[in-house]
Amino acid sequence: MEEQSMKIVDKSRDFITDFFTRKLSNKYVYHNLNHTRQTVEACAEAADYYELPPAEQEVLLVAAWFHDAGYVTTYRGHEEESKTIASAFLQQEQYPADRQKEVMRLINSTKWEHEPTDLLEKILHDADRISIGKKSFARKAELLRIEWEVFLDKHYSPSEWNKLQQEYILNTHFYTDYFRKEYGDRREKNINDQRAAHKKAKSKKEKDKEPKRGIETMYRATYRNHIELSAIADSKANMMISINTIIMSIIITVVGGSFTLTERAFIENMRFTIPICILLIGSLVSVIYAIISARPNVTKKDVSLEKVRNKQSSALFFGNFTNMELPEFIKNMKEIGQSKDLLYDSMSIDIYFLGLVLTEKYRLLRISYSVFMGGLVLAVVAFIGIFFVTQYNMR
């Protein structure tokens, strides 16, 4: 490939690498930088095999680098976003207009419903779907399944997913001789493996598995929400602590400094004692409630196996189980692990008490914010009132 071609391809690689690293969510476990690199490498191998002219290699590899860039902003219809991102980059690099058009055409050809018409489109199509001819097909399929659950809210039972993957691999084939030659045999083996997996999943009872999966998702989401809300509460408390301590420091410094002034200046400033005291007391009360809200508060309860069985307490919270002896704790956890109902009940109790702690945090924070707002308003009103009254009396 010509040096100039290598230059724009390398710039595309550097741009996408930095772009994905900074902006692509970690939740993209399939359509990520690794998938893009794999697609580019497969395109480069096919380009060498077909001895494509440098200009064609160039647009092919640039399109391969940008074909999934749109996932940064949207999941559905990402190809149009990919074209927009690629166009902006290539225009900035003053890339020739005719080659820009070719890159856009190739990116557009990666749409699911598009039927490739020429060699470049066929190479990009096969490279983008190269996983059907690799040993990692089943593992990559599971990563795609996770993405669909997160971004498309699509949930499949093992039997449904295996059937979907079987249909996909049967309906997806390689258009180029190169990919058929290099990856065709493995695709056939993947088809057979997928059929076997589908039969195995279909023979199992799905009725008991689906509720279990839904319950685990519910508990996982609830715990995550509690953690996030607790972090938000601590962040708000820290903000109130910082603001109020700054205000109190300034007031104390200014008031303390007034004692070093002349007697007349001190007497004149005494008229603002009321608003200063209001603001100081308001800030003090507000920061006290904020500190109480943010202060670690670990509840400790005596937990026994009998209480866990009777659903009166949970051994999952560290404030409870650290009071146990190690053999007793192991015994508790073993019994909880052997009973699905006992495990779920323990998690429910744990979530309940986490909710109580979170409710108290936000109650204290609400008081802190309310006192701060009230003190600030009263101080300003008092300051304005005293200022105008004294100015009027001085006439």
DSSP tag of 114: P
Tracing tokens 């009360």 back to the chain, one arrives at: 285
Distances (CA, A) of 142 to 10, 14, 29, 82, 332: 31, 29, 10, 24, 34
43 alpha carbon, distance to own chain's centre: 31
Tracing tokens 């083996």 back to the chain, one arrives at: 189
30 alpha carbon, distance to own chain's centre: 15
Give the confidence band of 339 by pLDDT, cuts at 50, 70, 90: low
Does the pLDDT at position 197 exceed 90? Answer: no
Of the two residues 217 and 51, the one the predictor is more confident about is: 51
**26-43 confidence digits (pLDDT tens):** 899 999 999 999 999 999
The pLDDT assigned to 261 comes to 46
Give the confidence band of 85 by pLDDT, cuts at 50, 70, 90: very high
DSSP tag of 24: S
Q: What percent of the chain has pLDDT over 90?
A: 39
Question: Who's near 225: CB < 8 A, 6+ residues apart?
Answer: none
Does the pLDDT at position 208 exceed 70? Answer: no
Cβ-based neighbour number of residue 342 at 10 Å: 17
Does the pLDDT at position 152 exceed 70? Answer: yes
Show the DSSP H helices in 204-272 as ranges.
209-258, 263-269
Of the candidates 72, 90, 91, the one whose C-alpha atom is nearest the C-alpha of residue 81 is: 72
Cα dihedral sign for 277, 279, 280, 286? positive
DSSP codes of every residue in 140-207: HHHHHHHHIIIII-----HHHHHHHHHHHHHH----SHHHHHHHHHHHHHHHHHHHHHHHHHHHS--T
Give the confidence band of 52 by pLDDT, cuts at 50, 70, 90: very high
Q: What is the crossing angle of helices 177-203 and 137-147, to 10°? A: 70
| Across 366-395, average pLDDT | 79
Spatial distance between the Cα atoms of 42 and 65, rounded to a whole number of angstroms = 12
Of the two residues 190 and 233, the one the predictor is more confident about is: 190
Does the pLDDT at position 96 exceed 90? Answer: yes
**178-190 confidence digits (pLDDT tens):** 999 999 999 999 9
**137-147 confidence digits (pLDDT tens):** 989 999 999 99
Question: Who's near 241: CB < 8 A, 6+ residues apart?
Answer: 287, 290, 291, 294
The pLDDT assigned to 374 comes to 87
Does the pLDDT at position 226 exceed 90? Answer: no
Mean pLDDT of the chain: 82
CATH superfamily of the domain spanning 3-204: Hypothetical protein af1432 (1.10.3210.10)
The pLDDT assigned to 240 comes to 85
Tokens representing residue 280 in the block: 């100081």
Does the pLDDT at position 76 exceed 80? Answer: yes
109 alpha carbon, distance to own chain's centre: 30
The pLDDT assigned to 1 comes to 46
Does the pLDDT at position 250 exceed 50? Answer: yes
**262-310 confidence digits (pLDDT tens):** 445 444 555 667 788 888 888 888 888 888 887 766 555 555 555 555 5
Q: What percent of the chain has pLDDT over 70?
A: 78
**363-378 confidence digits (pLDDT tens):** 888 888 888 888 888 8
The pLDDT assigned to 177 comes to 95
DSSP tag of 115: P
Of the candidates 64, 47, 354, 370, the one whose C-alpha atom is nearest the C-alpha of residue 225 is: 354
The answer to whether the CB of 123 falls within 8 A of the CB of 47 is yes
The pLDDT assigned to 379 comes to 83
**340-356 confidence digits (pLDDT tens):** 677 777 777 777 777 77
Most confident segment among 112-121, 316-325, 359-368: 112-121
Spatial distance between the Cα atoms of 238 and 228, rounded to a whole number of angstroms = 15
Helices and strands counted in the chain (H then E): 16, 0
